[in-house]
A = this chain, B = another copy of it.
Amino acid sequence: MSMLYEGALQDLVEEFGKLPGIGPKSAQRLAFHILQSPLEEVEALSSALTEVKKRVRFCEICGNVAEDERCVICKDGRRDQSIICVVEEPKDVVAIERTREYRGLYHVLGGSIDPMAGVGPDDLRVKELLPRLQSGEVAECVIATDPNLEGEATATYLVRLLSSVGVTVSRLASGLPVGGDLEYADEVTLGRAFEGRRPVTG
């Protein structure tokens, strides 16, 4: 979109337009929303932006987001220290925490192996994982990378790498998503669901 507003409003439209998933029309709508919002609300957003850059860093142990050297999960002594779940991103930690199924620790890789994008194991927090698993405290490592091409490649790499470490290495079950329709499942998912079928008794 060309320069159509005066200075400050145009600047804001352009800044919003740089954000992922915000097109020119959304950027304009957001800018007008800001213009019509109370000053306190705008200042809250404005300072939340810079506060994140000032205060948030990455946990020196697991790579999760943190406001200290260690994240809230690594600092929590009540978490099961014998199991580490490996994920790609901090938001995957949030997704798993939301299930309330898991009480162990995490290891955040910071991405997945993606040769097309030039991302190899050395670009991820892989070398930081090994000493954690070798401490003697850990019995199991759950690999919970994304069920897509890059995530699968990363999982395969890690399974091979960790085979000699002496901890149980497991992966999340693949299968049909709960609440979905079988007919809408793609072939690969349905195939995995068949592979992983379990005997049940009535």
Chain B residue nearest to A38 (CB atoms) is: B53
Known: A20-B33, A52-B12, A91-B32. A6 touches B43 (CB 8 A): no
Query: What is the copy number of this chain in the assembly?
Result: 2
Query: How many Å lie between the Cα of A42 and that of B55 in the bound state?
Result: 13
Chain B residues contacting A101 (CB-CB under 8 Å) are none
Q: Interface size bucket, A side?
A: 35 or more
Q: Which residue of B lies closest to A21 (CB)?
A: B26
Contact between A29 and B21 (Cβ–Cβ < 8 Å)? yes
A55-B8 in contact (CB<8A) = yes
Is A46 an interface position by the 8 A CB rule? yes
0/1 interface trace, chain A 127-156, chain B, CB 8 Å (1 if under): 000000000000000000000000000000
Is A7 interfacial (CB 8 A cutoff)? yes
Max chain B Cβ within 10 angstroms of own Cβ: one of A2, A47, A48, A67? A48
* A126 cross-chain contacts in B, Cβ below 8 A: none
Could you give 10 example pairs across A and B, Cβ below 8 Å?
A6-B65, A8-B51, A9-B52, A11-B48, A12-B51, A34-B53, A43-B50, A43-B53, A45-B49, A46-B49
